[in-house]
Amino acid sequence: MELGSEDRDLVHREASSRTKTELTDNAPRIHKIGALSIAQIDKLIAELQEARNLLEFEEERIQREMVRYIKFVQMSLASLKIISDTVSGWHQPGHPMRRFLSLADDSTGAR
């Protein structure tokens, strides 16, 4: 048995009105579920922004620490060069410290 165009229109209208009624009845539930989802997304966005802020702060802190460390290393190397240059000068002929170094070598038996 085939449905005529009138029958098809009737079925279509019933399905359409039933769907509209179901949507209207379910609208508060859909709205509530949507609101919960939006609230969860907003909370996640806030947490991600907080994590981003923390990471940016830590990046800046680490950069400051690296700059301080580099300056410390440079100062240490400069101090070591001064000490090394000073001590190597003591071994030059005629330097006043050479006499003390000779005495120290004699007392320890080193040469």
pLDDT in tens, 23-80: 566 677 777 777 778 889 999 999 999 999 999 999 999 999 999 999 999 999 999 9
- Listed by start position, the domains of the chain span 5-108
Torsion of CA 99, 104, 105, 108, to 10 degrees: 160
Q: How confident is the model at residue 1 (pLDDT cuts 50, 70, 90)?
A: very low
Give the amino acid at 91.
H
Q: What are the structure tokens assigned to 61, written together?
A: 């802190």
Cα-Cα-Cα-Cα dihedral sign, residues 56, 58, 63, 64: positive
pTM over 0.85: no
Cα-Cα-Cα-Cα dihedral sign, residues 75, 80, 86, 88: negative
Residue found under tokens 């379910």: 26
